[in-house]
A and B are shown apart, each in its own frame.
Chain A
Amino acid sequence: MGTILSVKNISKSFPGVKALDDVSLDVKSGEIHALLGENGAGKSTFIKIVSGVFRADEGEIFMGDRKIDVKSPADAVEAGISVVHQELNIVPWLDVATNFMLGQEKTKKFLHIIDKKYSIQKAQESLKRLEFDIDVTKKMQMLSFAEQQMVEIAKVISTNPKVVILDEPTAALAQQERANLYQVVNALKEQGVGIIYITHIFEEVFELADRVSVLRDGQYIGTEERENLDEKTLIKMVVGREVKSVPRESIATDEVVLEVKDLNVEGKLHDINFNLKRGEILGFAGLAGAGRSEIIRAVFGADRKDSGEIWIEGERVEIDSPYDAYQAGIALVPEERKSEGLMMEMTMEYNNACASLFKTTNKAGMISYKKVRQRAYEAVKKFEISPPDVLRKAKLFSGGNQQKIVVSKCVSADPKVLLVDEPTRGVDVGAKEEIHAILDEMVKEGKSIIVVSSELLEVLKLSDRVLVVRDGRIVAELTKEEAGQEVIMQYAMGGSSHE
């Protein structure tokens, strides 16, 4: 088995974040190479560089012995590297054959009319080679997600790539569909294709992979033969060793501030019950897609809920919209600060004020710009926002400072309960510590906080109590003493993978 693709010493920075730092990786012919890492570890940046979406700041890519320069996705395909993205590139209202040939149609000379017969034949052949039987004249939207994915994989393979990158291909698949996919992946392997397989799910790694590489915080952690790995070692590699940081002192009381009873969202959340105490930081852990964010978004009224009661300080409140939530004293720091948290084209002081304009009005109900500015400067000082320019547009701040602005916006409305979804995603290490300190400060001021994070370490560091979510259910409640990375991971992934 010879090495087909080797990536050497790749680095890539974005403003404020070093996304990849000196990462090297190689793939052999006929090998399934699993790539693991937490969200934000740099996996997607890595794929984007290899497939020509981004250009690396430093580093080289070799196909065999030949150095290649991947300037665009077309270059990558040309060199023999193809990607099956998590989100499929399909046109739902066109039929399977047309989707299959999109961009590489064979046309007749007259008016470039598409040779439909050829499309159908080519699509059928390629799908048959994957032992996948489907009527290619069906509209794409009539197919299930798994079937659509199969078509996409077949399309990718039809260009005869040497390396195929699969980005979390089983994330949206049911158990049986996964088995089918594994078959296809193994078939590709037999044909001598090198496969980079990105996943969160450890089961898959042990079922499929020949070798495993791990990224963490943009750093290359290591590559191991699968035989030499057990789950514990792998978890350690992915989440890292416990970082020595000053443990939070718990100041949680016994007084319940927020209580959620029998919350249900059809198809997403089932019988969610929990409470939050004054001065407590409650952490939600679980795999991506398990329903962590969905719970707090439903509580906040950002998403519709089918049933459930929400009680604030012993009184039942009706929350059907974020407006209701703010009225009841609940604020949310949303997951995506760019699309949900901030108005990027507007100033820091505007963003800071817009959730709490009632605090900046004078007796006549008019907005006092003096108060707006005064509050903005208070926030800059309190949260150490830098640069301290309240008239700077939100988009010009670094990720960490943008995140602080979102927090300050939510806190300025003086909520009793602060829900924080991914407090430090895409934020560098220094700002991360600062935001953790801010959250600690908030509970000292008497607020109660729920933190949702895909980073286990973050949940462990901040939380007084941890709830583990799996498949839309709360499967475990752990005290600070009981909670540990291994325990949480085991609950989060279900009973099947204890060995």
Chain B
Amino acid sequence: MRWGEVVMSNGSQSKALNSIKNWYATSKQEAGLYIALVALIIFLSIASPAFLNAENILNIIRQVSIVGIIAIGGFMVILTGGMDISVGYVAALTGIVVAKLTIDMNVPMPLSITAGMCVGLLAGLLNGTLSTYLNLPSFIVTLGTMQICQGAGYVVTQATPISNFPESFVELGRGYLGPIPIPVIILAALYIFMSLFMKYSKFGTYCYALGGNKESARLSGIRVNRIQVLVYILGGLFSSLGGLIVAARTNAGSAQVGGTYLFDVFTACVLGGTALSGGIGRLPGVVVGCIFVGILNNGLVQLNVDSFYQMMVQGIVLVIAVVLQSLMTREKRKKSNKQ
């Protein structure tokens, strides 16, 4: 059961069929995403023989894990009715700070990782306090933070990636636990924990309340400002965590990686059914969105699509997703008007 669930009572049908129908009625968009995902997989496995290759699949899920971790934070911010476009560059700057400290300045690993996470903490604090207490549009505030992080990244690296981490750190991005890559394990653990946390904790429930109607939430005695700032801080921390794994996997801190993540995270959230107006969305949907984005990006490479055309395809997918979302909410509105 979840918030916003609609129950259709139809006694004559079997329970299982009913529950499928129920699920479809409430998660039309998610259902559409699953169908599109299956279609994409079938298409790619026919069009490109290398696609179903075990190595390629591992590659995809590793890539998905990084987008997925950053997307948790992005999702929470969108859910509360805000927007954080600084996620990608916060991730990049985190990698750079860790690389600079560890490789160039020989700072012990735990200390430099802590410093890296502080990037996310500070960015989140800045985004959160400015957009909450000064009531500034989050889009503008995070646009500023994004540019600050990007600039800082280039200043520290002088535009050349800082590489050669100690082996133990690289393991974080490239290693395996049994047959499963470590980033995937991290992602799975985080998703399970966060999904439950968003559903069963007061904090998670209040996030939905904030996105649903901030004023009403405030007058219900919910400390909306505190929650909103915390959400931005969590957004920053998840970005930093993603950034650590990117750095480990590429064995470098580089300023260039920031741009791609913003787009992927955003597309994954929208595809996964998160309403940009806030209040509606679920983490499981976001995971599937991430998987879709990951497979699409990988498939485009497998099919030898020119990288500039890849961007165009990605853009088209995002636009289609937003259009479908708006059509669906319009349909819902019509129905509820009739009632």
Binding site for B on A (CB under 8 A): 300, 302, 321-323, 325-327, 331-332, 334, 339-347, 350, 353-355, 357-358, 361, 365-367, 369, 389, 391, 393, 395-396, 409, 413
Contacts and interface: CB of A to CB of B under 8 A. Distances in A.
A332 B219 contact: yes
A343 B221 contact: no
B223 A341 contact: no
B4, B7, B215, B221: residue with the most chain A Cβ atoms closer than 10 Å: B221
Given A357-B202, A367-B205, A340 B216 contact: yes
B27 to A, nearest CB: 15
Nearest to A364: B200
B336 interface: yes
B220 A346 contact: no
27 contacts: A300-B219, A302-B218, A302-B219, A322-B219, A322-B221, A323-B222, A326-B221, A332-B219, A334-B216, A339-B213, A342-B216, A343-B279, A345-B4, A345-B212, A346-B279, A347-B4, A355-B222, A358-B202, A361-B202, A365-B202, A366-B200, A369-B1, A391-B7, A393-B6, A393-B336, A396-B336, A396-B339
A339 B200 CA distance: 26
A331, A339, A343: residue with the most chain B Cβ atoms closer than 10 Å: A343
Interface residues of B, number: 29
B47 to A, nearest CB: 41
Contacts of B221: 322-323, 325-327, 331, 355, 413
A325, A327, A358, A367: residue with the most chain B Cβ atoms closer than 10 Å: A367
Interface in B201-250: 201-202, 205-206, 208-209, 212-213, 215-223
Interface in B168-192: none
A358 B209 CA distance: 15
Contact of B209 (A339, A341, A343): A343
Interface of B: 1, 3-7, 199-202, 205-206, 208-209, 212-213, 215-223, 279-280, 336, 339
B219 A342 contact: no
A439 B7 CA distance: 31
A344 B223 contact: no
A345 B1 CA distance: 16
4 closest residue pairs by CB, A with B: A326-B221, A343-B212, A355-B220, A366-B200
Given A325-B221, A367-B202, A391 B216 contact: no
A369 B215 CA distance: 24
Contacts of A323: 221-223
B279 A345 contact: yes
A391 B218 contact: no
A234 to B, nearest CB: 36
Contacts of A355: 220-222
A367 B200 contact: yes
A340, A346, A361, A413: residue with the most chain B Cβ atoms closer than 10 Å: A346
A195 to B, nearest CB: 36
Given A369-B1, A391-B7, A340 B219 contact: yes
A353 B1 CA distance: 15
A334 B215 CA distance: 10
A322 B4 CA distance: 25
A251 to B, nearest CB: 27
A212 B172 CA distance: 81
A253 to B, nearest CB: 27
Contact of A343 (B200, B202, B217, B339): B217
A355 B224 CA distance: 12
Contacts of A396: 336, 339
B204 to A, nearest CB: 8
A340 B212 CA distance: 11
Contacts of B336: 393, 395-396
Contacts of A366: 200-201
A339 B215 contact: yes
A327 B208 CA distance: 22
A322 B339 contact: no
A44 B279 CA distance: 32
A282 B47 CA distance: 75
A345 B5 CA distance: 11
B35 to A, nearest CB: 25
Given A345-B279, A346-B3, A396-B339, A365 B219 contact: no
Contacts of A327: 221
B200 A342 contact: no
B6, B217, B220, B279: residue with the most chain A Cβ atoms closer than 10 Å: B220
A114 to B, nearest CB: 30
Nearest to A343: B212
B3, B215, B222: residue with the most chain A Cβ atoms closer than 10 Å: B3
B209 to A, nearest CB: 5
Nearest to B277: A345
A334 B219 contact: yes
B199, B200, B217, B280: residue with the most chain A Cβ atoms closer than 10 Å: B200
Given A345-B279, A391-B6, A393-B336, A322 B208 contact: no
Nearest to A391: B7
Nearest to B7: A391
A342 B213 contact: yes
A325 B221 CA distance: 7
B3 A347 contact: yes
A339 B209 CA distance: 13
A343 B219 contact: no
